[in-house]
Amino acid sequence: MLSIREISVAYGNNPVPAVENFSLEMKRGEIVSIVGESGSGKTSVIRAVLGCLPGGGQVSRGNISFEGRLMSELGKEEWQRLRGTEISMIFQDSGAMLNPVRRIGSQYVEYIRTHEKISRRAAWEKGARMLEQMRLPDGEHIMRSYPFQLSGGMRQRVGIAMAMTFQPKLLLADEPTSALDVTTQAQIVRQMLKLREEYHTGIIMVTHNLGVAAYMADRILVMKEGHIVDAGTREQILNHPSSAYTRNLLDSVPAMGGYRFV
Amino acid sequence: MSDTQELILEAKHVTKRYPVSGGRTLTACRDVSLHFYRGRTLGIVGESGCGKSTFLRMVASLEKPDEGEILYRGQDLAKLKGEKLRQHRQKIQMVFQDPAAAFSPKMKVMDIICEPLLNFKRIKRSEKEAAARKFLEMVELPGEFALRYPHHMSGGQRQRIGIARALTLEPELILCDEATSSLDVSVQKTITELLVKLQREKQIAYGFVCHDVALVQSLAHQVAVMYLGNVMEILPGDQAASGCVHPYTKALIGSVFDLHMDFQKPIESMDDEAPSPFDMLSGCPFQSRCPRCMEICRRERPALKEIGEGHLAACHLAAQGETE
């Protein structure tokens, strides 16, 4: 479905690329986690897939293709058709993605009607139904709320509901649980796994939380300073990491009942 | 076990309320009683909004409790004023979550580290650089960093500066409010190791507030679990993983993603969200989410009761001796 071939991402005039020689092949319904510390280039990779690199970033080498089509050759309108319908993204804080002075419903309806020719009423109902599917109680009520009236976990669910409206084939998740409490994080992770069961959605999960990455993923990529240092199935990475960096990373994660400092 | 330990600070039935718009009140901390001992770490965990940071701010005398008292070596902190309060502040120092926001960007590292020393006239201006180098060495940073600015450093290095600043006045108690939460895991580990090493050398007491249960239980001698302003359970750090009895503690620990967990087993999580902290219901604060809520839980708020050595829980189930 998605094929990333040896891409490099560079920002502005910076001669050192943020990502170098990154390759990834993904099938439908597969979940791949990209883990790494801050500045390792993991976010740049998924932003490159969606063609929305910030601040003068561009794919300087290699190519990305989605269902056989080269992304670099897509026109503006084709991009518009693809984004938000076939490929969608959720961010660390979906509250920041929403306009704070408009109600959720008005933004949701606008989004649906950008991609589909349906009436306002039908779009509203579709939105409310999606929200309820994401286990938000009373979708109608949420549609009439402003983003700041919802808790972080609820906003994140609104973000996921919006991203899943058109049942995308690929969902890009950029640290979707990092700003949440552990209990809410567990709820969101369960929700995302259900997406694969129900819609056969492929997910690229970018996170620095190795526990979440391991729980969700079929395959894990470990990145460091723009390079893949380790790649493999969950069992390979956790039990037989090939690089010292991954080993050190795994050792640093505190575990319940594990190593104690005192 | 508390007989042999030296008590530094004791919070007794501390309650803090904030007025909110609409004439309502938010109870950030309710009847919290906790102890800090010399050379020991008290970890406080809980979800956001559970009052753990408010409690730390009261201990640091940044807020005054509405009810109850905080006793530092027997002395009520709420009664300290003016110069006495200023002198007292040397004893308790704080390390903040965001090391980028905790420093003035216009000050050099040596000015940041030495500001408390100069404020309390412990050194002369001419001794500043030498003093800064000494403290940098203590937190395992090169002495040349004294002349740098904070934005020239990485997050982990900045957090070390924050720790160095907290150390300068030789406090008895250091309060860490999510001090490692914004750092990468490998950096988090080195900072934790540093904190533990300093504790061994100087017998500092720590108050370590963090939302990461796994991290807290790995470095705390005692762990307090808070929920909506209430202390639900206090237990020794080495028992946190297996010995907890409160349903909330179990739920909190159950939702931690662990590298050694069984990946085939679905992750446990509570379905709903924490109720609003405004209008507190009577009865147990956890009743709306508790899987084992009983009749009595809706009527009566359970008190913290000792159920084992150094282990207290506020739960009717535990009080009845029925924990599994």
Q: Residue B2 — pLDDT band, cuts 50, 70, 90?
A: very low
Our count of domains for chain B comes to 1
Q: Residue B24 — pLDDT band, cuts 50, 70, 90?
A: confident
Q: By the CB < 8 Å criterion, does A154 face chain B?
A: yes
CA distance B287 to B295: 10
Q: Tell me: ipTM over 0.85.
A: no
Query: What contacts A60, CB < 8 A, 6 or more positions away?
Result: A8, A9, A10, A17
Alpha helices, DSSP H, located in chain A: 42-49, 76-82, 94-97, 104-115, 120-133, 139-143, 152-164, 182-199, 210-216, 234-239, 244-252
Minimum distance, in Å, between the CA of residue B256 and any CA atom of chain A: 6
Chain B residues within an 8 Å CB radius of A151: 273
Q: Do A190 and B238 touch (CB under 8 A)?
A: no
Q: How far is the first Cα of chain A from the last one, in angstroms, to the nearest whole number?
A: 49
Range of the domain at B239: 7-91+171-245
**Do residues B211 and A182 lie in contact, with contact meaning Cβ atoms separated by under 8 Å?**
yes
For chain B, give the percent of residues with pLDDT over 90.
Answer: 61
Using DSSP's 3-state secondary structure scheme, residue A215 falls into: helix
Q: Are A105 and A200 in a shared domain?
A: no
Residue appearing with tokens 């069961």: A197
CA distance B316 to B295: 10
B264 falls within a domain? no
B117 falls within a domain? no
The residue of chain B nearest to residue A214, with distances taken between CA atoms, is: B259
CA distance B39 to B200: 7
State the sign of the Cα–Cα–Cα–Cα dihedral A60, A62, A65, A68. positive
pLDDT the model gives residue B279: 66
A70 falls within a domain? yes
Q: Are A40 and A160 in a shared domain?
A: no
Q: Residues B215-220: what's their mean pLDDT?
A: 93
Residues 216-255 of A with CB under 8 A from B: 234, 238, 248-255
Query: What contacts B25, CB < 8 A, 6 or more positions away?
Result: B17, B18, B19, B278
Residue appearing with tokens 């803090």: B16
| B259 closest CB neighbour out of A185, A189, A238 | A238
What's the whole-number average pLDDT of chain A? 90
pLDDT the model gives residue A4: 94
B16 falls within a domain? yes
B53 falls within a domain? yes
Q: By the CB < 8 Å criterion, does A258 face chain B?
A: yes
Domain end residue (candidates: A131, A165, A199): A165
Q: Are A28 and A77 in a shared domain?
A: yes
Q: Do A182 and B47 touch (CB under 8 A)?
A: yes
Domain end residue (candidates: A165, A189, A208): A165
Range of the domain at A224: 1-86+168-257
Minimum distance, in Å, between the CA of residue A174 and any CA atom of chain B: 16
Domain end residue (candidates: A126, A143, A165): A165
B323 falls within a domain? no
Q: Are A179 and A76 in a shared domain?
A: yes
**Do residues A175 and A96 lie in contact, with contact meaning Cβ atoms separated by under 8 Å?**
no
Minimum distance, in Å, between the CA of residue B232 and any CA atom of chain A: 16
Which of B310, B253, B191, B267 is CA-nearest to residue A193? B267
pLDDT the model gives residue B134: 93
Which of B182, B266, B257 is CA-nearest to residue A179? B182
The residue of chain A nearest to residue B248, with distances taken between CA atoms, is: A183
Q: Are A173 and A240 in a shared domain?
A: yes
- For residues B196-219, b (16+ Cβ closer than 10 Å) or e, as one string? bebbeeeebbbbbbbbbbbbbbbb
A101 falls within a domain? yes
Minimum distance, in Å, between the CA of residue A227 and any CA atom of chain B: 17
A248 falls within a domain? yes
CA distance B205 to A177: 32
**Do residues B221 and B206 lie in contact, with contact meaning Cβ atoms separated by under 8 Å?**
no
Q: Residues A128-149: what's their mean pLDDT?
A: 89
Q: What is the pLDDT of residues B36-58, one digit of tens each?
A: 999 999 999 998 888 999 999 99
Q: Are A181 and A250 in a shared domain?
A: yes
Chain A residues within an 8 Å CB radius of B47: 181-184
Using DSSP's 3-state secondary structure scheme, residue A53 falls into: coil
Q: Are A144 and A174 in a shared domain?
A: no
A9 falls within a domain? yes
- Which candidate in A135, A149, A157, A181 is best for mutational testing of the B interface (most B CBs within 10 A)? A181
Rg (CA), chain A: 19
Q: Are A132 and A18 in a shared domain?
A: no
**How many A×B Cβ pairs under 8 Å?**
121
- Domain with residue A245: its CATH number is 3.40.50.300
Q: Are A190 and A70 in a shared domain?
A: yes
Residue appearing with tokens 């790995």: B218
B214 falls within a domain? yes
Q: Do B218 and A254 touch (CB under 8 A)?
A: yes
Chain A residues within an 8 Å CB radius of B254: 186
A262 falls within a domain? no
pLDDT the model gives residue B189: 92
Q: Are A16 and A141 in a shared domain?
A: no
Task: Name residue B94's beta-bridge partners.
Answer: B175
CA distance B59 to B53: 10
Q: What is the pLDDT of residues B129-168, one digit of tens each?
A: 999 999 999 999 999 999 999 988 888 899 999 999 999 9
The residue of chain B nearest to residue A190, with distances taken between CA atoms, is: B267
B212 falls within a domain? yes
The residue of chain A nearest to residue B276, with distances taken between CA atoms, is: A151
What's the whole-number average pLDDT of chain B? 89
Which of B179, B172, B184 is CA-nearest to residue B36? B172
Which of B19, B220, B287 is CA-nearest to residue A260? B220
Written as one string, the DSSP assignment of B73-132 is TTEEGGG--HHHHHHHTTTEEEE-S-TTTSS-TTS-HHHHHHHHHHHTT-S-GGGHHHHH
Tokens representing residue B85 in the block: 């309060």
pLDDT the model gives residue B182: 83
Q: What is the pLDDT of residues B267-291, one digit of tens each?
A: 877 777 777 777 667 889 998 888 8
Q: By the CB < 8 Å criterion, does A197 face chain B?
A: no
Q: Residue B1 — pLDDT band, cuts 50, 70, 90?
A: very low
The residue of chain B nearest to residue A208, with distances taken between CA atoms, is: B184
**Do residues B161 and B113 lie in contact, with contact meaning Cβ atoms separated by under 8 Å?**
yes
Q: Are A81 and A207 in a shared domain?
A: yes
Q: What is the pLDDT of residues B238-259, one digit of tens each?
A: 988 888 999 999 999 988 888 8
- Kindly report the number of other CB atoms within 10 A of residue B242's CB atom: 9
B184 falls within a domain? yes
Our count of domains for chain A comes to 2
Segment holding A17, helix H or strand E: none
Q: Do B259 and A214 touch (CB under 8 A)?
A: yes
Segment holding B318, helix H or strand E: helix B316-319
Tokens representing residue B293 in the block: 């809520």
Q: Do A255 and B214 touch (CB under 8 A)?
A: yes
The DSSP 8-state label assigned to residue B140 in this structure reads T
Which of B155, B119, B160, B126 is CA-nearest to residue B143? B160
CA distance A189 to A211: 11
Residue appearing with tokens 């909330």: B248
- Domain with residue B210: its CATH number is 3.40.50.300
Minimum distance, in Å, between the CA of residue B130 and any CA atom of chain A: 31
Q: By the CB < 8 Å criterion, does A38 face chain B?
A: yes
Q: By the CB < 8 Å criterion, does A208 face chain B?
A: yes
Tokens representing residue B12 in the block: 């007794």
Q: What are the CA-CA distances from residue B174 to residues B95, B135, B160, B166 (Å)? A: 7, 16, 14, 7
Q: Are A103 and A77 in a shared domain?
A: no
Tokens representing residue A34 in the block: 């990209």
- CA A167 distance to own-chain centroid: 14
- CA A78 distance to own-chain centroid: 21
Tokens representing residue B44 in the block: 């406080």
A1 falls within a domain? yes
